[in-house]
Structures are given as structure tokens and as C-alpha cells.
Structure 1
Amino acid sequence: MSAHQRDHVENGDSRHGRPAKHAVEQKARKACINCRRQKMRCIIEGNDACRRCRRSGLPCIFVPRANAATLPGAVTDTKDVDFKTDVLRRLKVIEDSLGISVADGILPESAILDGGSNDGEELSVEFSSLGALWDAAEVLQSSAPSSVPQYIWRKSTIKDLWLSFHERMPGLHFMHRKQTFSAPQPLLLASILYCSSTRGPSETQGIAPHYFAVLCNAIAQLCVPGSEVGTVPQDTEEWAFQTVLGIVLAGLLNEAIVRETGVWISIAYRLILEHCPAHIDETSREWRKLFSGVQIIDLEHASLHLSCPVIPIESPLPGLQTSHRDQLYRLSRMMHTGLTHFTGRGLPTIWSCFTGQTSAVVNLDNRFTPVDAAVIRDWARQLDEWLVEFSQDSEGSEQELRAVFRQYVLHRLVVLSIYHPARGCDLWSNSTTPTEQHELLLSARATLKLHLHDDSIWANWDLIMITWAALIVVQGIEGGAGEPDDVANIRIHLEMLKQMNKPKPSLCDKLINRLEGSLASVHTPVSADFQHNSFENLDMGAHMDQSWQIFDHSSLHQMMYYDWATHEQSLD
């Protein structure tokens, strides 16, 4: 008997010339990825791994040759398949860059397993009815980073996130009427998937960071010549509107925590200038409101960093211009004027107090001038007039009136915070007068109570400003100027932050840690005679120095000490 025949006898049945099972496995497997990279012989031990991978503790992955039979012992576990798919895709990118051809044994991308992500979904009626959605998802998938796992592209997952976005997402304060899209563009879909996964149930928490990577990559692709995401289709207006709206949503969820938000704003503005139609009628998209949305994000971003706004207050396009009596225009104009005056001065910012990058206390006598005081007083006067005018609008819906109150309270705190970081964020600084302490603490307490009356708070800027207010209230408690419900209101805000399903590490984590750390340092309880120390009685302001009381002292009265719903009913 020849050596070849003896081999068949030892390893299988050779009576009919059939190769033994072990020989078929060796031929099909040939060599695992790790052995192939090192150009070493692959010695299989058992059915799970080769000797080298077992000793090294590495996953032993075999790539069959193009003409090989089905891989023996194929793993059906979804996580294992996803992992192997991810490794194969990364390997293909590396080998493509090295010029290694497909003929060398690497499967083409079309033949790589997709982890069963869409098994049986192609023929399903519920998925086929969303045909345009899959076109956008395909563009995102083809251009996504190789580090993004393939299971996030399951049609069932995308469909659930797409539908839940329209169910859970509150209306935007600059665009009250919800927008619907039957054929979303890639960047808008990426933004919606990220937004919905961060605001969805806890089971979506693990995939939110992957959709964030897809979103950032899609925005970056707008700046890459010839990219599929940046390719403008025939309907240029619809593509541009959806793309800008996607950037706006991304900005609302990432301002402050993502430094590149300012770059995104600039891209959105350029797209508006290039693609907004010259003539806008009732059939056109709401370009004017979208432009306001870009302005608002720009101003919010600038207020946190005390930087110069990028978007001009007056649009160069006639179609985007609006009445000077418009609510958002009036608010944006006073913000733009005030922030522009204080930018470029090297002043400490609100956001620097969260990052721990505050500089030494500024010498107020040298840094601030009477002109600065005049700008702040004029800013405050305009904001008070804005509140009076738009909170008494009998035609406003409950949602619109709530948005007016929220914007007033938040922007009032921005104005009063211009000097606060410069004083080392110390409410009881020697350079702060009792009247200034009174006014800042009163506004901070009103801001902290927003959660009690408004359940539509979700954007980054709102959460940051309420946390900023909570830090000021904590200092008030420590200084003996607390109120009975201060700690309870702080706890409510903390609980709201903890319920936010954000990718880890997230903005909410930073805010929670900062606020809990500040709250833990409070050792002075609310004094027994807090009624005398607090500023609950607004009439006591008449006995105080009024030289620095820049806001109307009664502007918060109805919101602070009466239920907002009662106030809204009185307007009807």
C-alpha cells in the first residue's frame, strides 16, 4: 500500500477514492488569518482553533478559498459572526491598500457575511414600503468607517429608530410644525438615527455611539470632493434643506461637548446660501425658519464660549429676510449684538466653568467699562420688552407660550452670567453687590424650576444652562440664602439628566459629575431664618441699592410664584 493510500486509511474511507473528512477540512480552511499574515504553517488542533492562535489567545478565523466548499463548523452565533465580519472587512481594507488581489484568497466585499443583519427582510412588506429609506441607509453604510459594526444596519433597527423619532421627538422651537420626509437624504437619516438612539429606550444605548460615528463621517463627507453623501441629486432644494436640517439636529445634541459644532454651523450656512431658491412660496420648504434654526444654534454655541457668532443677523438673500417684529428675529438680534460686544476679550466663559479651565479672577475695574454696563442694561431692557410683547400674545398656543417663557428665563441668565465667571464663579465674591447676588440667584432659581413646567427640554444648551443655574443655587444654599425647595429642584434636574440616554462618556455625565460634586461640598444647611435671608419677598428690593438691578424685578414674579398653566389660562 502506498503512502498516499495509507494516509486515506488512517484518516478516512479510501475504498471508493473519496477524500477523508479531515483532508477536506484542511483544504477548505487552508490557513487562518493570523498564520497567513505571518506566512507560517497553520496546524489545526481540534475543531476550534489552530495551535498558534490557541497559544496566543487570539480568535482563529479561517477564510475559505474562492472555490472551497462551505466552511466546516460554521458558527451561527450572531455576535461571533458580527465580529468575524468586522475583522474580514478591516482586513480587506488593509489588503486593498497594500495591493493584494482578491484572487489571493480574500472574498470580495459582496461575498462577506453581513451577520444575518437583513435575513428575510428583503422580501418583507413592512420593509419594502420604506424603499427610499434603504437607499439613504445604503449610502451611509457604504461610506461609514470600517470600525462601525454591521448590525446597526439591520432594517428592523433602522425602521424602529426612524418611526420612534417621529413619535418621541418634540417640536423645534424655531419650527413648530413637524417636518415629515418620505425620502430622507443620507445626512438627515444619520442625524435622525443618532438622535432617536440617544433618546430611545435603554437597549439603544449601545448603538448610539456607532450612529454618532456615522453622523460625524457623513458631515465630513460633505467636504470631500466626489463623495456619495455630498453628491447633489437632481432635486437640489430638497437635498439641501434636509441636509441643513440634519446638521441643525446634530448641533442641538452636540453643542459645547463637540468642539467642531462651529464648523458644522458654517457648512450649514454655506449650503443655505447656495441652494435656497430665489423665490419662496407656499409650496417651498420653510427656509426662513430653517435659517433661524441655524442662527439660534450659532448664538447658543457662542454664548457658552463667549465667541463671535458666525451667522449674520441679516440674511443676504431676500427670500430669507423676515419682519423685524418676528419673535425669533428680535431674540436673535439682541443676542447677536450683546455677544459680539464681549467676544475676543479673553473673558472666562460659562463652559470653562464645567471643564475646569477658568483662569484667575479678572480685575473688574480694568476689564469692564461703563460701556459694557450700558450694553448689558440695553440687552436686559430689550429682553424684558420681548417677554411682555410675546407672552401676551392671545393667539399663541400653549406650546409657543411655554417656549417664550423658557427662552426668556435662559437668555436672562446668559446676560447676568457675563460677569459671574469673571468673578471666579463665586456668588459671594467681594466684588458682587447684594443686589447683584439677589438678581443672579433669583434668575438661577427660576431657570432651575423650568423642569417643573416644561417637559420638552432636551437640547444641550438648555441642559447646560439649567445645570449652570443649579450650581449658582447651590452656592446660594451654602451662603444661607436657600429656599425650602432648592435641593428638591436640584434633585429633579439631576434625575432628568440621568434619564437622558446619551452615549458614554456623555455631556450628561459631565454635568452630573460637576453638579453632584458641588452639591456634596455643601455643609451649611438652610438657616432657620431663611425667610429673612432669602429673596422670596420681591418687595424688599425697594430697600436695596437699585443701581445694578438691570432687569424688571417683577418680570419673573408670575413665573416664579404662580403656576405657569394658571398664567397661560389667564391669557386666553
Structure 2
Amino acid sequence: MSGSQRLQFDARGQKTPKACINCRRQKMKCVMEENNICRRCRRSGLPCLFVPRANAATLPDGMMGWPEDDFKGDVLRRLRIIEDKVGISATSEPPVTSPVNQSEELLPQFNGLGALWDAVVVLERTAPDSLPSAIWRKSTVKDLWLSFHNRMPGLHFMPRKQTFSAPQPLLVASILFCSSIRGPRDVTELAPHYLEVVCHAIAQLSIPGSEIGKVPGDSEEWAFQTVLGLVLAGLLTEAILRETGIWISIAYRLILENCPTHIDETSREWRKLFSGLQIIDLEHASLHLSCPIIPIECPLLGLQTSNRDQLYRLSRMMHTGLTHFTGRGLPTIWSCFTGDVPSLLTSNFTAVDAAVIRDWARQLDEWLVEFSQSADGSEKDLVFRQYVLHRLVVLSIYHPARGCNLWSNSTTLQEQHELLLSARATLKLHSHDDSIWSNWDQVMITWAALIVIQGAEGSAGEPDDICNIQIHLEKLKQTMGLQPRLGDRLVARIETSLANVHTPGSHDTSENVGIMGPVDQSWQIFDQASLQSMLYSDWIA
């Protein structure tokens, strides 16, 4: 038999010459060359595939255009897709190893992370087949996993680093997603795919009998990691994904069902995790003026905290204030970014509304005074950041209903002055705080930038306003790799507003008093002392 012809065994075990599929179709002679490729396929640039006959008894080594393991893996993958479509796939099906991981399987640098790879296999098996295989490459996964704490600033509700020797799939998916967003450009491009993995993993929690939703023997550890994964994903999807509210509900249910009755030093930090869930719930509610999901007081005694706790106090006042304005069809902060803001006032605010706003502001001022005195260093900066951002939320209740117009006829000079001052202080956060990263922080600072731009349009600007806006723009452009692209939307909104700033005297502070008129500082929603603290002189050394 000529060496230029490829051989195949038939059902009787006899050798027969075999042409590749391309030569067979054209009924041409198949002449083999080096690298197991025939001359015709090499010249035409086609894959040289030798498909076995239906009566072939075996698949001898070297008889196929691709390795036998790859061929079998491809057949099993196609079979799994068909079974999933008709609903007959078995949960006991052995995992199909990705060709990308096969070459890395025996490398020593991937040893010692066995539990991580187990979770990745589950994620890969439940994720859509349309995702690129590069996201499962072990070198990429390992880098994202190990560099998570270096790339992500600490969580203010859980500042101590959490380590997991046996990570659960949903937590792994969230960490890969979060770490990829803040990684180098080649990794950032994978973030949208990891987001899709996260979304499918969360969906699995609602499917009976799913691998990710299956509770192992240690239900407490599984639930803690799953809720933490939901919180991490929510911090980077609120505003752009309306489903974030559903995720919060799932996380709350998991806490109620799996949190241990007695919490001690050996338990996971359930109280802090619950506080973090409350925070993301209130942030989501403040952007959409929706009713908070998580109650002020947890029904579980083990998760109730002291009235002197900083995050508890902040959550309590925000929950009370937001609940009052929920369900009235008021325009929201996020509606100003989607173009759904009405041009005229859509709701009449009552004296009760004004009283709620003033009481809300009073509590926030008292919170600032109380917790700034006992804080120091980075903790003091964190208190200040939370105060500035939440203060802007309070002052923004009326603003969207007035068409997001700082110079609306229904806005008094005092309200203009206080809103502009608060927005300017919020905009400066990026210049003094490098730990800002969540979606809510970015949206609120962009919201502040739009108000400051309106001030500049009305010749009520300050010399460094445009500079601070440019700093914020640069920060946003560093995080524009996510789909749906929140950064793109925020940047476009700011640049469109900046194009309207044509007033030559918009940066001259000497004109501000004459244009806005003498402001009665005694009439302010917030206390005068808190306004002075926003000048940063008491906060930044």
C-alpha cells in the first residue's frame, strides 16, 4: 500500500485506502504530504479531515485530521447541546474537558488549587457554549483569582480580606468578573463574557436540581459564599441591570434560610455580609426610587446590630427616607441618564415631604458629627465619602422632578446654592479617594458633574470645576470595557453637557454672588457646620 494514502480499518479489520472528505466530494485522488495533510487541502487552505466510514470498527491513531480526544470531546459537546434542547440531559454526565485546558492539565503551577478548578468545571458546564474558550484558560483563571484582592479595593462593610480554600461556583464567577474589570486591557476584554457566566450561574439558583443551586453538606459555607458572590456582582451591575433587585431578593432569602442561629468568633462574618446586602439594596433603591427589599431590622436575632453601629445608622435613615418617596411615579436619578425625565414638574411636593427631607438631613448631619470624631485615617475618609454621596441623594429628591434643571423657576436660590455646593464636593471625591469603584459611586459622581456643568452654564462655576470633571472622565474611561457599557453612557452624558458650556465667565467666582444673589445661609436643608466640613480642609492633610 502506498505511503501517500491514508488507511482505514473497515468492520472486518482490513486495511483500505481512504481519501479525505474534500477529495472524496470531488472524486479526486488524495495524495498525502507532511504533517498528515493532503496536497489538495494544503493548496486550497482547507482542513484536511478523514471522516470514518459507517462500518469502521475502530478509530486508529493518526487516522483523523484532529486528535481522537478532541474528536470525541467535540462529539460529546454536540450531543450535550442536542440533549439540552430536548430536555433529556443527565445530571450525572461526566465533565467534558475543554481543549484549552488539556494542554495545561499537568503543569505544576496549577497544582494546589484543586477546589478552584472543580468550581470552574461546573461553571463551564453550565455556561453557554457560545462563550470563548479563552475565559476558561487556567493561566487566566488563576491570575484573576489570585489577584482579586490586589485589583479590587476593600469592601467598606467587610474590610478584612476573605479567603476561601473551597470556593463555590457562583463566588468564583463573581470574583473572575470583578477582577477582570480592573485588570489590564487584554483581561478587561473578557469581562463581558464573565458577566454572562455570572448571570447564568445566578439563574441556576432558581432551577430545581441544578449543579450550582445544589446545597452541599456544609450549607452555611455554601450560602455565605453564594450571597457574597451576589453582592459583589450587584455592586458592578446596579443601574445597568434591572435584575439586580431580584439578585438582592435571592441573597436575602439565602441568608434567612442558612445563617446559623448562634454566631461566634469561628463563624463567618454574617452580620457584615447582611450590612453589605442592605447597602447595595439602598443604593439600588436610591437610583430608581424603588422600595428597599431588605428590612431595617433583620428578623434573625443573630444578625441584629447595635444602634451605635455606623452602617446600621446610615441604613436606617436612608431606608426611612426612600420609603416615603416610593411608589409615587417620581422621576429618578437614573432616568436622567436614560432620557425619561419629564420637562415639567410631575408631582406636587407637600409640607410632609419637606419635613421628611429636613429630618433626613438632620439625621445625616448628626451621623457625620458622631462618626467623624471617632474615626481616623482611611476610616475618616470613608465616613466623609458616605456622607457626601448620601447628602447628594437627599438633595436630589426634588431635582429630577424639576426636569434636572438647576435654574428651574421652582428652585429657590437657597436650593440652587446648596445643591451646587454638594455636587461640587461630590465631584472632588475622585481627587482625594482612589478606592471608588462601585457602579453607584460612579453614577452619583457623574450626577454631581452634570449639576456642576449646569452651574457653569449659568456662570456660577469655580476655577477648578472643569478640571475636576476631566479627572472624573479619565477615571470613567479606565473602566469602559464592561458590557452593557455603563462607562460609555456616563462619559457620553458628560461630554454632551460639556459641549453646551460657552459662557466666558463661567469660571469666575467673583460673579457667583451677583448672579445667584445673596444666599441666606440660615435657611438650608443641611446644617451650616456640615457645609463647612465639605471644603476638605478638615479632612485632607
Contact 2:427 2:469 in 1 (8 A): yes
Unaligned runs of 5+ in 2: 8-13, 31-36
Query: Is 1:398 matched with 2:385?
Result: no
Distance change >3 Å, CA 432–CA 381, structure 1 → 2: same
**Which amino acid is 2:371 matched to?**
F
Query: Is 1:24 matched with 2:18?
Result: yes
Query: Is 1:92 matched with 2:76?
Result: no
Counterpart residue number, 1:560 = 535
The 5-angstrom pairing of residues 2-17 of structure 1 reads none
Query: Is 1:455 matched with 2:463?
Result: no
Distance change >3 Å, CA 529–CA 231, structure 1 → 2: closer
Which of the numbers 359, 373, 386 marks the counterpart of 2:354? 373
Task: Output the CA distance in 2 between the equivalents of 1:192 and 1:168.
Answer: 11
Contact 1:44 1:50 in 2 (8 A): no
Query: Is 1:311 matched with 2:294?
Result: yes
Which of the numbers 101, 114, 132 marks the counterpart of 1:117? 101
**Which amino acid is 1:286 matched to?**
E
Query: Is 1:493 matched with 2:472?
Result: yes
**Which amino acid is 2:398 matched to?**
Y
Distance change >3 Å, CA 62–CA 518, structure 1 → 2: farther
Contact 1:197 1:207 in 2 (8 A): yes
Counterpart residue number, 1:162 = 145
More helix by proportion, 1 or 2? 1
Which of the numbers 34, 53, 59 marks the counterpart of 1:68? 59
**Which amino acid is 1:436 matched to?**
E
How far did 1:125 drift?
3.1
Distance change >3 Å, CA 63–CA 348, structure 1 → 2: farther
Task: Output the CA distance in 1 between the equivalents of 2:166 and 2:466.
Answer: 47
Contact 2:453 2:498 in 1 (8 A): yes
How far did 1:95 drift?
3.7
Query: Is 1:327 matched with 2:320?
Result: no
Task: Output the CA distance in 1 between the equivalents of 2:416 and 2:325.
Answer: 22
Distance change >3 Å, CA 122–CA 561, structure 1 → 2: closer
Distance change >3 Å, CA 559–CA 118, structure 1 → 2: farther
How far did 1:337 drift?
0.3
How far did 1:350 drift?
0.2
How far did 1:116 drift?
3.5
SS in 2 for 1:284: coil
How far did 1:93 drift?
4.0
RMSD (Å) for aligned C-alpha atoms: 3.6
**Which amino acid is 2:365 matched to?**
D
Query: Is 1:443 matched with 2:422?
Result: yes
SS in 2 for 1:556: helix
How far did 1:126 drift?
2.6
The 5-angstrom pairing of residues 493-532 of structure 1 reads 493-500=472-479, 502-527=481-506, 529-532=508-511
Which of the numbers 200, 221, 227 marks the counterpart of 2:204? 221
1:294-339 deviation per Cα after TM superposition (whole angstroms, max 9, x unaligned)? 1001000000000100110000000000111110011000000000
Counterpart residue number, 2:34 = none
Distance change >3 Å, CA 123–CA 527, structure 1 → 2: closer
- 290-299 or 525-534, which deviates more: 525-534
Counterpart residue number, 2:525 = 550
Contact 1:252 1:461 in 2 (8 A): yes
Counterpart residue number, 1:231 = 214
Contact 2:456 2:507 in 1 (8 A): no
Which of the numbers 365, 369, 389 marks the counterpart of 1:388? 369
**Which amino acid is 1:382 matched to?**
Q
How far did 1:363 drift?
4.8
How far did 1:405 drift?
0.5
- 172-181 or 368-377, which deviates more: 172-181
How far did 1:563 drift?
6.5
Distance change >3 Å, CA 503–CA 382, structure 1 → 2: same
Contact 1:86 1:150 in 2 (8 A): no
Contact 1:13 1:19 in 2 (8 A): no
- 353-362 or 343-352, which deviates more: 353-362
- 297-306 or 228-237, which deviates more: 228-237
Distance change >3 Å, CA 270–CA 42, structure 1 → 2: farther
Distance change >3 Å, CA 168–CA 402, structure 1 → 2: same
TM-score, normalised to structure 2, is: 0.87
Identity %: 66
SS in 2 for 1:440: helix
Task: Output the CA distance in 2 between the equivalents of 1:555 and 1:44.
Answer: 87
Contact 2:462 2:509 in 1 (8 A): yes
Which of the numbers 185, 189, 195 marks the counterpart of 1:212? 195
How far did 1:525 drift?
2.9
**Which amino acid is 1:553 matched to?**
Q
**Which amino acid is 2:367 matched to?**
W
How far did 1:399 drift?
2.0
TM-score, normalised to structure 1, is: 0.83
Distance change >3 Å, CA 63–CA 410, structure 1 → 2: farther
Contact 2:6 2:18 in 1 (8 A): no
How far did 1:206 drift?
2.3
Counterpart residue number, 1:36 = none
Contact 1:202 1:501 in 2 (8 A): no
Contact 1:85 1:114 in 2 (8 A): no
Counterpart residue number, 2:268 = 285
How far did 1:180 drift?
1.3
- 93-102 or 433-442, which deviates more: 93-102
Task: Output the CA distance in 2 between the equivalents of 1:88 and 1:149.
Answer: 18
How far did 1:503 drift?
2.0
How far did 1:138 drift?
1.5
Which of the numbers 104, 122, 128 marks the counterpart of 1:145? 128
**Which amino acid is 2:233 matched to?**
A
How far did 1:553 drift?
2.5
Task: Output the CA distance in 1 between the equivalents of 2:477 and 2:311.
Answer: 31
Counterpart residue number, 2:10 = none
Unaligned runs of 5+ in 1: 1-7, 33-40, 76-80, 103-108, 567-572
Distance change >3 Å, CA 183–CA 90, structure 1 → 2: closer
1:58-102 deviation per Cα after TM superposition (whole angstroms, max 9, x unaligned)? 999776578334355549xxxxx99x9998676434543678999
How far did 1:554 drift?
3.0
Which of the numbers 414, 423, 426 marks the counterpart of 2:402? 423
1:168-189 deviation per Cα after TM superposition (whole angstroms, max 9, x unaligned)? 2211111121211111111100
1:151-194 deviation per Cα after TM superposition (whole angstroms, max 9, x unaligned)? 32122111100011022221111112121111111110010001
**Which amino acid is 1:427 matched to?**
L
How far did 1:402 drift?
1.2
SS in 1 for 2:434: coil
